[in-house]
Amino acid sequence: MKKTINIPLGSQHISLLEPVRFKFECENEKIIGVDADVGFVHRGVEKACTTSFKFDAIGYVVARVCGLCAITHSLTYTAAVEKLLGAQITSKAKYLRILLLELDRIHSHMLCLSHTCENAGFEAMFMRIMGDREHIMEIQELITGNRVQFDYISIGGVNRDLAPESVQKIKENLYIVKQKVQGYMDEFTNNWSLSLKFKGIGMLSLDDAYMYNAIGPLARASGLRIDVRNEIDYLPYHEVGYKMQTHTDGDINARNLVRLAELVNSIEMCENILNGLPEGDIFTKIKGKPQGEALMRFEAPRGELMYYIKGNGSAMLERVRIKTPTFSCIPAFSHIFLGGDYADAPAVLASFDPCMSCTAK
């Protein structure tokens, strides 16, 4: 007789933001098999980029692949095209790009932390973090004119200059958020009921992280020192005070702490940029059509994002390939679920911070 029961989670579920279906095979309370189905939101962006949009418009189309890391998508694409066109952008534009990239990371990590708390049953913490996240959204609206989906990056620079009168407000908001993040650190390390839900649950060891090709905060929480920001020289990350954050435990708690440490580091980077922003233009005009192949990587909030583009000298590209962070992490996700309790599944899932609209494109 069959001893196991199958429990589906999704495609529509209160703890999920987006449609994804997991099928858990359970024996009593323990999960012994996982099957993931991620293709619900497949739209066909890659194909449309080569058939219906010209290369200078694609930067705004690929931003719609994912609303949370929209800026990383358009930046990676734009950087790849700039590499093909041999363009040089001004250093002010580079710093403004980092500023927005880090603001995006801050709000994405805060969303993830609040979501993890909500799925662990701590509704008050969810409300607290979501409330504080509005400070960052305000900054983004001040700089770019929109709260999410800011079409800020264009080929040759950025679309809007930083108004001098808004700098003061941005600094104030960043200061407030920094204080709040210190408070969360305390809460996440010392709160007893959160530790019951987070400590020692959803473990990923260093060897497994290496073997299953984990990236992003998931890998850094297991002690794997992997971060694209550390490896590229296209954006001056080392000048603005980038430090890699790692932890060794590999459980949900470690992931939260890594995200919190990255929040603090990102806020510091933003402050450094605001204090030492160089003078100059924000946009250089670039002529030509992309010809040849280019590959570009950046660190999205969830890990490495890679674009491959191929042009043939006309306005239409021949191929655009997007490799997204969640896609690379799926083997590690499935491995972590095995052997855990079913009751922990929503919290574990939220701690991965999965992004399905990235994965399915």
Partner 1 sequence: MFDLKKYRKKSPWILHYNAGSCNGCDIEILACLSPKYDLERFGVINTGNPKQSDIFLVTGPVTFRTRERLVELYTQMPEPKVVIAVGSCACTGCVFRDMYNVEVGIDRYIPVDVYVPGCASSPELIIDGVVKGLEILEQKTKEMEKPFKLFKEATTDDGIVNRRHSALKVGEDDAKD
* Residues at the site binding partner 1, with contacts judged by CB under 8 A: 11-15, 17-19, 39-45, 47-48, 52, 60-61, 64-68, 70, 111, 127, 130-131, 133-134, 137, 146-149, 355, 357
**Please, which residue, 60 or 342, has the CB nearer to ligand SF4?**
60
CB 109 within 8 A of CB 115: no
Min separation Cβ 53 and partner 1, Å: 9
Name the token pair of 251: 């459980």
Min separation Cβ 67 and ligand SF4, Å: 5
Distance CA 275, CA 74 (A): 26
**Please, which residue, 105 or 247, has the CB nearer to partner 1?**
105
**Please, which residue, 18 or 271, has the CB nearer to ligand SF4?**
18
Distance CA 116, CA 125 (A): 10
In this structure, what DSSP letter does residue 41 have? G
Counting every residue written for the chain, the total comes to 361
Q: Choosing among ligand SF4, partner 1, none, which partner's interface includes residue 278 (Cβ < 5 to 8 Å by kind)?
A: none
Q: Choosing among partner 1, ligand SF4, none, which partner's interface includes residue 210 (Cβ < 5 to 8 Å by kind)?
A: none
Min separation Cβ 127 and partner 1, Å: 6
Query: Reduced to 3 states, what is the DSSP secondary structure of residue 37?
Result: strand
**Please, which residue, 11 or 191, has the CB nearer to partner 1?**
11
Quick one: CA torsion of 107, 113, 119, 124, rounded to 10 degrees?
-90
Distance CA 296, CA 77 (A): 8
Min separation Cβ 35 and partner 1, Å: 16
Angle between helices 345-352 and 325-337 (to 10 degrees): 150
**Please, which residue, 64 or 243, has the CB nearer to partner 1?**
64
Amino acid letter, 293: E
* Residue partners of 172: CB distance under 8 A and separation at least 6: none
Min separation Cβ 92 and partner 1, Å: 27
Q: Choosing among partner 1, ligand SF4, none, which partner's interface includes residue 121 (Cβ < 5 to 8 Å by kind)?
A: none
Q: Choosing among partner 1, ligand SF4, none, which partner's interface includes residue 137 (Cβ < 5 to 8 Å by kind)?
A: partner 1
Q: Give me the half-sphere count of Cα atoms (radius 13 Å) on the Cβ side of residue 317.
A: 26
Distance CA 46, CA 308 (A): 11
Min separation Cβ 46 and partner 1, Å: 10
Interface contacts to ligand SF4, rule CB under 6 A: 64, 67, 149
Distance CA 127, CA 114 (A): 7
**Please, which residue, 7 or 338, has the CB nearer to partner 1?**
7
